[in-house]
Chains A and B, each alone.
Chain A
């Protein structure tokens, strides 16, 4: 078996919560991520999808080291990189880059685009000073912008253009892995398609591997090779995108796919699944399967005791899929013609 580019093994991230009881009570601890095991192969685009509080953003931040990992291991090309600090972290920081959701908050407003793009080149000393300008021009061209934009400030650009600049900065030092956290969520539909095509081009042309984090199932389905679905800090399903779209192996995935609005009502005969209630709080994660309180399959099967007493592990299925459901073969909702 080939070595994955990025491997997470039983990774957990905790946040301190409110004091539990009384002034001297032991503070509660929230598990934002609970035992994440996931691998990303070289050249692969892996989608990470979930609702608010699922932990998808925390996972991206934990990988790049923006939040400390409480337990478990993260490795890049087989090298352990968990919680690296200072100079030891530099090679990793160069190899893994991030693009954030808000193109208005992620660029320095008082730096020209040229200065912004030169910064990573200077930090890592990858380009001799004489070639800086040429490299900046090439980066701008790479993301579909003209070299004269280098002299301008972020305020002069639209959201889509700023996201192109943020991507140019991320690929400045030829990273091995790009982590994109909701990179198109703040953009209009027509502009969103431009950025999705740009990411697809980068992947094709320079073989960029990507972890694409999003709440939007249609976008993830479009761009990614494989999709990991998160719920309450755990991964509930991993599968190739096409296979997942054709037949989800977890009832939560099935509900997400059913809830995605379609342009043509009759495009696919489907029974709409409406989940009841809200995502439970991290301070009161249900026992057994964390999803059972909202699960349509649990209701349909007459509330099997196993679901609310025993936590289903993320188990491997045939055809390289994984599902954290006791009934992965019954997760296809009844089709209404």
Chain B
């Protein structure tokens, strides 16, 4: 069983809002089962941001959807516990879960264009989601919608209420999604690649907005991203996910200053650095494994420069490599060929 970085002693430091314990999401085909997410545990305290970073197929979006209770129960099997304020969301009935979705936990997605109803005005959509959870009059709901649009920095919030999604830019649509998400003052916001579809200068605006909202409202933010840089700028803590497992976790500054898992090191070395140009990048050989082709033992070993016989024989243990920092690797102490970029 995996022990998250904030188990026991650490968890008393601050109030844990979300506790995910041994989360497993698997898909079955015939007699075979493949785990998309494989025994993941973590906690988030109120007012904190946890970043989950991983490449395609790492299972990061499935974690977000599992926390939201949005996975299709017929197609996928979800195991483990997702505790929000003590209650296990996995065990709730669909009706009980629906009452919490939006109110306690809200989510924003990568593509704000497909999350909005194209034939309904922005205002009507925000009012509808508000009135689905709270008994408020239409007039009051409209007033709060304008307030929410103002808070997320929309130009001309009153005029925006009457517009349709196609009249908005990508950045404005994501602001509308954020307004809809925070209007009910959720305790947890799950953001799955919230800026990936946006231009760089718009991404910077949205990240600042999310940061401000976390600080002001004290909500917790679960940020899913493929971009280590975005997680570095936003998160307090990070989970590096590979093939459904946490390979390295810890405070984000510490993990990036002293990464101990070869995959974390590899991700950093493969990334061009704006301020310290490298003459040559150090790519990780191969490609991220497909779901049905994950290697036995440590799933990363076929691409790993440090791999030994032990790595293919059994899953590596979780090794405490620093204060609150854990790496799931047999060779955390070894100095491999990979170097952290200066």
Contact = CB atoms under 8 A, between A and B. Distances in A.
A28 interface: no
A192 B270 contact: yes
Interface in B171-201: 171-172, 199-201
Q: Which of B202, B203, B266, B276 has the most CB of A within 10 A?
A: B202
A264 B257 contact: yes
Given A190-B288, A217-B274, A200 B230 contact: no
A215 interface: yes
A136 to B, nearest CB: 23
Interface in A289-304: 294
Give chain A's interface secondary structure class: helix
Nearest to B225: A261
Contacts of B256: 263-264
Interface in A204-245: 215, 217-219, 221-223, 242, 245
B229 A222 contact: no
Contacts of B205: 274-276
Given A190-B55, A200-B280, A268-B275, A215 B200 contact: yes
Interface residues of A, number: 46
Contacts of B170: 52
B232 interface: yes
Interface string B307-331: 0000000000000000000000000
Contacts of B284: 190, 193
Contact of A274 (B208, B275, B287): B208
B147 interface: no
Contact of B287 (A191, A223, A263): A191
Contacts of B232: 261-265
A12 B56 CA distance: 39
B301 interface: no
Contacts of B280: 197, 200
Contacts of B201: 51, 255-256, 259, 274-275, 294
Contacts, number: 128
Given A158-B287, A189-B226, A197-B281, A263 B271 contact: yes
Contacts of B287: 158-161, 188, 190-191
A260 interface: yes
Interface string A150-169: 00000000111100000000
A305 interface: no
Contacts of B266: 190
A222 B277 CA distance: 6
Nearest to B253: A265
B228 A189 contact: yes
Contacts of A196: 272, 281
Given A192-B270, A221-B272, A265-B253, A278 B277 contact: no
16 contacts: A51-B199, A52-B170, A189-B228, A190-B267, A197-B280, A218-B273, A221-B277, A245-B274, A245-B275, A259-B200, A261-B229, A263-B228, A263-B273, A274-B201, A275-B204, A278-B202
Given A191-B283, A262-B275, A279-B199, 4 more contacts: A189-B270, A193-B269, A256-B201, A278-B202
